[in-house]
Amino acid sequence: MNILMTLSQLEVTGAEVYAVTIAEKLIEKGHNVFIISDTLTKSTSAKYHTLSLTKRSFFNRVRNVKYLTRFIKENNIQIVHAHSRASAWVSCFACKICKIPLITTVHGRQSTHLSRKLIKGFGNYSLAVCEEIEKQLVRDLGLPKNQVEVLRNGFEIDKKETAELNAPEKPVVTYITRLSGPKGELALQLLEKIENNRDRFKNIHFRLVGGQEIPEKFLKFRDKFEFIGYIDSLKGYIDNSSVVIGAGRIAVEALLRGKPTIAVGEATSIGLIDPERINYALQTNFGDMAEFERMFDFDMLLKDIEKGVNERKCHKDVREKIIQEFDINRIAGRIEYLYQSILVRYHKREIPVVMYHRIIESKTQAGRHGIYVTAPQFEEHMKYLKDSGYETIGFDEALKINRLDVCKKYIIITFDDGYKDNYELAFPILRKYNFKAVIFLVAGLDYNKWDCTTDSEPRLTFMNREELLEMQHYGITFGAHTLTHPDLSSIGLDETCREISQSKKILEEKLSTKVNYFAYPYGALNDKIKEIAASSGFTHAIATDSGPIGIHEDLYHIRRIGIFPNTNLSGFKRKVKGNYSFRKIKDRTVIENIPTPKIK
């Protein structure tokens, strides 16, 4: 995937650190990432280009929209991810022109003036770094709730790493912040409060880290507080601190290092983070965003400084919560997932997964159930795919390739049950067109016992081991379809577990290879059955006409498109176009809402 990240900033911000960290993770996953920003202080392997996005004059914005539009087209960008207000506004217009989706990460409070409500500029999906931002986006700016999600400002986490405990001659309190804007005003007020209570803190060394230069209004404190200025790595300063004061990413980094941390941001004061305060700290991004702005309890902060210097480290439950919420690997995985989901919905297109059962020579062999197509029909379908440039792939490949490339046509062809006609009639046609397929086998039977004893179906033999191995050698993939083809939702969980797990074991022994795919008979499933499929070692489980719209959105509930006797060539063309499910799904929430899978 070709991804563009845009950012407007003149000095280092948490948004920049977040964008670069996410970019590196996406590059590790094989994506091409570009970054466009006014400045970039953090090193990155992404391709960086400079653009003055902070200049918001009408002329400059028009120029920036033109630049981004040209850049998107020249680099075949598929999705843009904006990390600041100015960059999101410009990116919004460029994406509309280029007809690609935009995702935004919102790091702070948004203005709510009329022009912002008319031209929101948040794109197709927004990530809020805390719950208070999500609340504002929905309540004050009218974003649909299903287009906003809380996703923290992630960190690379070493779960075993904590700072060495230091024993300086006297406690060190490190306040890490910017000295400009609202945070600069807050820092000024807090320093004045500390200075006015100098007798309480005479045995504590205070220092400020941040700011490219010391503003004039801070000069009066220069002899009483140590001003460090901007530094690239905070780790050393955090480690030799007794207490850290900060908000946003600063507070998170300090807590990950095991330090007592006082959260105070540009919106509100949280105080010393403990198990009782951690949830509110997360909701407000450690004080940077609150429903009621500019509410600071300086008396509480002074008491917490005194308390904090007597604690040697933060509470272990607080640190565990931080690890859980801010793990960059989890967050980057979710972002990659969202990119795919947004692209699928934006273009209304997904790889078709088609489902066949029997291939018969003539309709005299049809039987009672309409789960067949004739060999001439099947050949007509395959010829159309070949002539139209389709490439057949498997489920693993679908997640490794750029399956949403508009210049490519992919399809996954599947068969259920394992009838001998799959070898005798379908296999020669697949070979003729150099196509692959996935065939799900009933592992514990030699024929269709579930049908011919209850529904007067003809007795139909399954493929034998030699036939399966020949097909496997060619490139056909086999999956499991239980032992005896029961409706799994109507039998007990113990029996379900046996049907699923034993089918895998038998097929792996027969085929001498791993069997990673499973298909639910009749498409019958629920959460418990999905969990059994996952715990049995299957990497994918396939349904029939149910499941989310994107293949990646639930690997244990993959939707298929049935191909039946009445699927003529015209109908087949509609079914494999890529947008068929978007037209046929009646429950619109399946399309409108991006799910979070329960099974990882």
Assigned domain for 166 exists: no
Assigned domain for 397 exists: yes
Residue with tokens 């209304």: 348
Q: How far is CA 172 from CA 229, 313, 387, 407, 484, in A?
A: 17, 14, 73, 59, 70
Q: Do both 366 and 245 map to the same domain? A: no
Q: What is the CATH number of the domain that holds 238?
A: 3.40.50.2000
Rounded Cα gap, residues 436 and 430, in angstroms: 7
Boundary of a domain, candidates 150, 183, 211: 150
The single-letter DSSP state of residue 422 is I
Name 517's bridge partners.
540
Assigned domain for 376 exists: yes
In sequence order, the 6+-apart residues with CB closer than 8 A to the CB of 255 are 261, 273, 314, 318, 319, 322
**Residue 575 has what pLDDT?**
97
**Residue 13 has what pLDDT?**
78
Assigned domain for 335 exists: no
Assigned domain for 408 exists: yes
Rounded Cα gap, residues 274 and 479, in angstroms: 50
Residue with tokens 């499991």: 480
Assigned domain for 130 exists: yes
Q: Do both 384 and 320 map to the same domain? A: no
Q: Do both 460 and 533 map to the same domain? A: yes
Q: Do both 566 and 442 map to the same domain? A: yes
Q: Do both 369 and 280 map to the same domain? A: no
Assigned domain for 164 exists: no
Q: Do both 399 and 314 map to the same domain? A: no
Residue 277 has phi, psi (to 5 degrees) of -100, -10
Q: Do both 177 and 145 map to the same domain? A: no
Ordered strands of the 205-209 beta sheet: 226-229, 205-209, 172-176, 243-246, 261-264, 269-272
Question: 532: domain range?
Answer: 348-592
Boundary of a domain, candidates 271, 291, 325: 325
* Total domain count, the chain: 3
Angle at 278 between CA 272 and CA 284, to 5 degrees: 95
Q: Do both 143 and 208 map to the same domain? A: no
pLDDT per position in the chain (600 positions), as tens? 899 999 998 777 778 889 999 999 999 999 999 999 999 988 999 999 999 998 878 899 999 999 999 999 999 999 999 999 899 999 999 999 999 999 999 988 887 776 666 677 899 999 999 999 999 999 999 999 999 999 998 888 876 566 555 545 789 999 999 888 888 899 999 999 999 998 999 899 999 998 778 888 998 998 889 899 888 778 889 999 999 999 988 999 999 999 999 999 988 999 999 999 999 999 999 998 887 667 789 999 999 999 999 988 899 999 999 999 999 999 999 999 999 999 999 999 999 999 999 999 987 677 777 789 999 999 999 999 999 999 999 999 998 887 777 778 999 999 999 999 999 999 999 999 999 999 999 999 999 998 876 666 788 999 999 999 999 999 999 999 999 999 999 999 999 999 999 999 999 999 999 999 999 999 999 999 999 999 999 999 999 999 999 999 999 999 999 999 999 999 999 999 999 999 999 888 999 999 988 776
**Is the overall model pTM greater than 0.85, yes or no?**
yes
Q: Do both 380 and 304 map to the same domain? A: no
Q: What is the CATH number of the domain that holds 488?
A: 3.20.20.370
**What b/e sequence results for 433-442 when a residue is b if at least 16 CB atoms lie within 10 Å of its CB, and e otherwise?**
bebbbbbbbb
347 closest CA partner among 389, 402, 405, 408: 405
CA atoms 415, 417, 423, 424: torsion sign: negative
Q: Do both 86 and 177 map to the same domain? A: no
Assigned domain for 340 exists: no
Q: Do both 315 and 359 map to the same domain? A: no
Q: Do both 527 and 564 map to the same domain? A: yes
Boundary of a domain, candidates 90, 120, 150: 150
